[in-house]
Structure formats: structure tokens, C-alpha cells
Amino acid sequence: MSAASFFDRQMETLPRGELDALVDERIQYTARYARDHSPFYRNWFREHGIRPEDIKSHDDLKSLPIISGRTIREHQPPQKSEFLFRSVPWEEIFTVHETSGTSGTPKSFFLTWEDWERYAAKYARIFASQGFGKGDRVVICASYGMNVGANTMTLAARGIGMTIIPIGKCTFPRRILESYQPTGIVGSVFKLLRLARQLEGEGLDPRETSLERLIVGGESFADESRAYLAEVWDREVFNTYGSTEGTMCGECRERSGLHVPEDLVHLDVYDPSMGGFVPDGECGRAVLTTLVPPGGRCGTLLINYDTEDTTVVMTREPCACGRTHMKIYSPQREAETLWIMGTPVNRVDIERGVFQRGNIEYLTGEYEAFVYHGENGGVVLRVSMEALDPAHLPGEEIGERFIASFLRAKPGLAPAISEDFHVLFKFTPPGGLELSRVKGRPKRLVDRR
């Protein structure tokens, strides 16, 4: 399909000086709005001796305290009698949403229709930047419910003339592809790989479908798994990142980082170990602030919210696609990171080894990893992988390629390998992993020490 390059060309190509000035204007309004409408921030300003009228620029945010998901949970039922982050009366709330609650009580978020319009605009920009436009038909393989992702993409499609096929899952009959001839599909790496295997089992080559591009959202992934997915489908694979809190960043056709919609959400990078913000190019946690346009309303407002997702600001220079909004590395969930002998290991580090060329030919791509205390001290990492034919595969070679990849990413563990740090491998038939028996999104890296 012929596609528009931009959803909001004027805003997406705003020169850096004008964009920074717009951000500062919205930060000033957001601070005043928080004082006037958010019970939590009204108290927060008073307790910390903060004058909202003194918050005039994005640099001023760096002097303010950081809040977290725990802060939100501590200021809502059952800890409090009211939802203190709710920033409009109940009659203005359009929908209520919760996070997954993997860290305890789910965090509650309240969206007005204005919030939905801003959320939809963020995703519409992403779709347009990836080449989608009027006449495209996109299958959504994400759940419709308390998570905002699927609904946001559906609303975004209306603004650019796309048609959404709201499947909600990635197991559907091949007639969906044959009858509706979709041009795009949204799902996780693993959902899209399973769909490809399903189609192949039914005699349909994934590369022969009408799909023109794949969008991966909802979780970080290794470059190796992206490359393999692109090979299986013979299509471009784009990355998106979003959250109930309202981040919504996405790759453009350049695929050289995720654009941040800076006029709608402010993002800084914070290193909790240093207790401060880091310069562009250095890794830390993404800290976001909701930006409310002057005169606007917002159901749940966040200022200096620690997402607990790690990222790097790559550049604030204009992109070759024409957009001027900054780009970040694909964020990784800190909840999916654990420490082994002083070295941080993320789920993506495990995934990279699984999808090494020479390994994936024998594997389905499904994996899980567990970390244990060794019997004689030290640490054991056990990696289980689904194999197409466990009885006939070069297990030793697969393990060697995995370890070589793993140590390239984590050289600090190299001196300890085979002495204080042991990596064990297990191969199972399809459906043999523990995560196969778990409902919902599986946790692929588990600390059992």
C-alpha cells in the first residue's frame, strides 16, 4: 500500500530549538496541573518544599525526586482509601487500566478520552513512520483488556485510515490471512515464530502471504532473534515499545533506534547506583514525565516516574527519515535482569545465544533459563531449549556457540567459566519447557538461588 511518511509532519519535524521550547512550555503547564488536580503531587510538592511555578524547563525536572511503581501502589487502595494519582473527577474517566501486577498489587491508571487521543497519536506516528497508511490492514496479536497496547493501536489506525483485524492472539486459522489479505501484523517474536510454524504445518509458506511487514511489541528482543524472524517471513521487522504509563516509542523505516514523542512524554535516563541522571550515550533507567498540552486534562499524571526499564539516549540529531525527535535504544525490563557474580544478565543475553546462526536451525526458538547455587559453591546457569528433534542435534556445538555469544556480551564472567560459574544445557521436545504450562507471558530468566 502507498503509505504516508508522517502522521503529524509539522510536530514530528519540529526543529530542535522549537521542540525544546514546546517541551518546556508543557512542563510548566504540567507542573501547575499537578498542583491543582493531583492529590498525590499536591502533597508531594508540599512535603519536598517544591514550588511548581519554579519548574520551568526540562532541566528543572532533574532536581526533583524520583517516584516509582511502589509509590503508586502505596497511594491507592488497599494502602489508601482513594486513588491519589487520579487527576480528574470520576465522571471524566473514560477507562480504568491496571499493570500486570508482577511486583505485587497492580498499579491503577485512569484515562480520559483526551488521554486516549494522545496515546493514539503516539502510535499513529509509529505506524506512519514504518510505512503504514490508508488501505493497510493490520492483524493485532495482543490482548484487549486492562493492557492499553491493543486498544491504542486500534484507535491509532482510525487516524491514518488503516483497517484493524483485532484477533487478540497469534493462533488463528490461515483463512484470516487468505480472506482479508492483511499487510501487517503486530505480535511478539515468539508468537510470530509459532504462527509461522503453524502455517508451514498447514502447507502455507509464511513468505508467500500478503504480509508486508512485522511489528514486534511488548518485550525486548535480541538482534539475532529479529534477524531470524525476518528470515522466516522474508519481511522487515520493526520494533516498538510502550507501556500503560504512556511511553509509546517506535522505530521508523531507518530502524536505527526508537523515536520518543518528545512533545507528549518527556524521557530522561537515571542511574540509581549513582543517584543521578546520566548524559546521552550512557545507560540507565528511563524516567518519564507526562506532558499535558496547555488547557488539556489528564487522568493519571506522572512526574519523574522510574519505569525500571533500562535504555540509552542514542541521539537528538535529526534522523534520516526527517524526524527530529530523539532516539533511544530498545529498553530492557530491569525485572528481567539478575546479577551473576557482579555482572548483570538480562533475558536478552540468553536469547542472543539461543538464536545464534548454527543453533537456531535445530531449535524452535523457545527457551527458559534458571540460576542456582552450585553444589560446591559458585553459580549454575541452566538453559533449556526446545529442539525440533532432541534425539538428533549437535548439543555440544550448540552449547559452545551459546557460551561464545554469552561471553562476548558478558566478558566479566569469562574468568569464572567452568570454575565458579557453570552453564548447563537441556534440550526438550516442543511443549517440554516449564513455561509451556504457565498462562500469560512467561518469565524466561528465573533466579532460584
> How many domains is the chain built from?
2
Last residue of a domain, one of 268, 297, 330: 330
Domain co-membership, 199 together with 245: yes
Domain co-membership, 20 together with 39: yes
Place of cell 556480551: 409
Model confidence at 103: pLDDT above 60: no
Q: What value does the mean pLDDT take over residues 233-250? A: 93
Q: What CATH number does the domain containing 323 carry?
A: 3.40.50.12780
Domain co-membership, 394 together with 265: no
At 102, the pLDDT band (50, 70, 90 cuts) reads low
pLDDT score, position 443 = 87
Domain co-membership, 33 together with 57: yes
Domain co-membership, 191 together with 219: yes
Last residue of a domain, one of 299, 330, 361: 330
Domain co-membership, 342 together with 316: no
Q: What CATH number does the domain containing 342 carry?
A: 3.30.300.30
pLDDT score, position 445 = 94
Domain co-membership, 374 together with 442: yes
Domain span including residue 403: 336-447
pLDDT digits (tens, 9 = 90+) for 153-208: 999 999 999 999 999 888 899 999 999 999 999 999 999 999 999 999 999 999 99
CB 13 within 8 A of CB 323: yes
Last residue of a domain, one of 308, 330, 352: 330
Q: What value does the mean pLDDT take over residues 305-312? A: 94
Domain co-membership, 364 together with 291: no
Domain co-membership, 48 together with 126: yes
At 436, the pLDDT band (50, 70, 90 cuts) reads confident
Domain co-membership, 326 together with 340: no
Model confidence at 388: pLDDT above 50: yes
Phi, psi angle pair for 368, to nearest 5°: -155, 150
Domain co-membership, 322 together with 356: no
Kindly give, in sequence order, each residue whose CB lies less than 8 Å from that of residue 102, ignoring residues fewer than 6 positions away: 335
Domain co-membership, 314 together with 340: no
Model confidence at 3: pLDDT above 70: no
Q: Which amino acid is at 11?
A: M
pLDDT score, position 4 = 53
Which cell goes with 315? 541521539
